[in-house]
Amino acid sequence: MSRYHILLKAANVAALILALSINVYFSSEHKKHSEGNITTSIHNNKTYPSTHILPAGYTFGIWGLINTLLVGFVIYQWFEPANDVTVDGIRYYHVVVNVLNATWLIIWENGYPLIDTFVIAALLAVLFLIYRNLSFYPPQNLADRLFIHYPFTIYPAWILIATILNVWVAVSALDTELFSAIIIIVIGLVGLCFVDFKHDIVFATTLAWSLVGIAVRQHETLPVLVSASISTGLILGSILREGIALCCSRHRDSVNERTHLLSP
């Protein structure tokens, strides 16, 4: 392992510790001042004012999964099977992601949602760079899936939702039933495209998770409830179709293999 590799991996660890530490700090501050807070307290230690696309609180528990998988990544990166994808695929982008995550939270806590929108948009862009690069490094084992591909698939999918939330808070004119229903349908179509064209069930499932949360929280707003339900159905239907197609393909391959072995 070269000196550059060691420095990069050490920087990955330090950057994640920085981001998690800032999250823990603001979480403790929110707990101290939770009484009388008129905003909606959300996981990842941010408080979002209520909008028509704000999901149910439990939906934000996905941050716990993301952070757990990222901790797994900074541990797994030190093992030989993860070396190439860490150094040449993810590169320094993981460090940038954590710096942007911390910056996003600090700016939000200081009450500048419009500026924060540009920060989270940059975070989303960097995460999609990682997501694109990982397409050239298909998983070779279960650990690759769990600690390389899953975190950097769930993370950009969820930050896509968080970016839209940020925009809805920053630009209050968008927070209408009509615009909210439209953007929810767009989210559903994005999930559908990721299944049909990328065959990425994990990304689409993350979007479906957020849409279910929106439907649960916004159940009294009919246009939002209907659009969230339709979008969720679109994504889940495409996932089911993809799963059936995969099972059929594997069955055909198995039959063809047996036929080949039995043929004279």
Which amino acid makes up residue 188?
G
Q: Mean of the per-residue pLDDT values for the chain?
A: 90
Tokens of 129: 């760079």
pLDDT higher than threshold 90 for residue 141 = yes
- Residue 6: alpha-carbon gap to chain centroid: 27
- The residues, ordered by sequence, that sit 6+ positions from 260 with a Cβ below 8 Å of its Cβ are none
> Do residues 157 and 206 touch, judged by C-beta distance below 8 A?
yes
pLDDT confidence of 39, banded at 50, 70, 90?
very low
pLDDT of 192: 96
pLDDT of 37: 46
> Do residues 234 and 191 touch, judged by C-beta distance below 8 A?
yes
**Chain segment 236-245, per-residue pLDDT in tens:** 999 999 988 8
> Do residues 156 and 131 touch, judged by C-beta distance below 8 A?
yes
pTM of the entire structure? 0.90
pLDDT higher than threshold 60 for residue 38 = no
Distance CA 191, CA 249 (A): 22
The count of other CB atoms within 10 Å of the CB of residue 93 is 18
